Amino acid sequence: MAIARARRDSGMNYWPGFVDALSTLILGIIFLLTVFVVVQFYLTQEVTGKDTALARLNAQIAQLTELLSLEKTGKLSIEETVTQLRASLVMAEGERDRFRGLYEGVGSGAADAQGKVAELSGQLDNERRMGARALAQIEDEPTTTSIKVPVSTTTPTSRLSSGARNVPTAATAKIHALGLTHWNATACHRLSGWG
């Protein structure tokens, strides 16, 4: 035992150096761990902030997608409206062309009708002038009308026996029956022997 003790005393004692190295190593590791924890904390804050920003950006993207879909729907409805308006425009142009054709047809028909009206008006004026001339000739003639009726010159016996009365003969009776009251009675009297 003494030998072992002598060895121990004469030999080198490495345990205190080992403990110093080990404690320095542990202190360095703890320092590095502390630095890593602090960095991890700041990185976590950064990532959390980025996650919040990413969530906010995702919400904006969702809103923009919704607006885009609404705009596409609005565009489709506007395109449908434009298509309907174009169809209405085409129909209106067709109606306009049809009415224009009818108007032009009526215009040429109206010109033909105007020509016919002018022709008929001319004929009517001619007829009126002829009627006015005939009326003027009738008004210019005397009011008495002479009608020549063949009458025999023999006097009937009944007339002579009537006691000088003026009895109308058959010719004068027929004329009065026709409504000719203004006629030249002297010619009739001369022919029948009255006068």
Q: How far apart are CA 187 and CA 173, in angstroms?
A: 15
Give pLDDT tens digits along the chain (195 positions).
Answer: 566 665 556 678 888 999 999 999 999 999 999 999 999 999 999 888 888 899 999 999 999 999 999 999 989 999 999 999 999 999 999 999 898 888 887 777 777 788 888 889 999 999 999 988 888 888 876 555 555 555 555 555 544 444 555 555 554 444 545 555 554 545 444 444 544
DSSP-derived letter for residue 193 is T
Structure tokens at 79: 């395109």
N- to C-terminal Cα distance for the chain? 222
In a domain, 56, yes or no: yes
My answer on whether 54 and 109 are in the same domain is: yes
In a domain, 54, yes or no: yes
Note whether 153 and 120 are same-domain residues.
no
Residue 29 lies inside a defined structural domain of this protein: no
Indicate whether 120 and 134 sit together in one domain: yes
Q: Is residue 151 domain-resident?
A: yes
Q: How far apart are CA 179 and CA 115, in angstroms?
A: 46
Q: What is the 3-state secondary structure (H, E, C) of 133-180?
A: HHHHHHHHCCCCECCCCCCCCCCCHHHHCCCCCCCCCHHHHHHHHCCC
Question: CA geometry: angle at 67 spanning 61 and 72, to 5°?
Answer: 125
Q: Is residue 153 part of a domain?
A: yes
Query: Does residue 127 fall inside a structural domain?
Result: yes
Say whether both 94 and 62 belong to one domain: yes
Q: Is pTM, for the whole model, over 0.75?
A: no
Sequence-distant contacts of 167-175: CB under 8 A, at least 24 apart: 174/149, 175/147, 175/149
Q: What length is written for the chain?
A: 195
Q: Do residue 58 and residue 118 come from a single domain?
A: yes
Same-domain status, 55 and 67: yes
152 and 135 within one domain:
no
The two structure tokens encoding residue 111: 């010109």
135 & 183 share domain: no
Same domain, residue pair 50 and 127: yes
DSSP string, 97-111: HHHHHHHHHHHHHHH
Looking at the domain assignment, is residue 5 inside a domain? no
Q: Please tell me whether residues 137 and 160 are part of one structural domain.
A: no
Range of the domain at 150: 143-195
Residue at which a domain ends, from 119, 141, 163: 141
* Number of domains comprising the chain: 2
Give whole-number Cα distances, 177 to 25, 169, 180, in Å.
Answer: 170, 12, 8
Q: Which residues contact 105 (CB under 8 A, 6 or more apart)?
A: none
Same domain, 66 and 125: yes
Whether 50 and 78 share a structural domain: yes
Residue ending a domain, choose from 141, 158, 178:
141
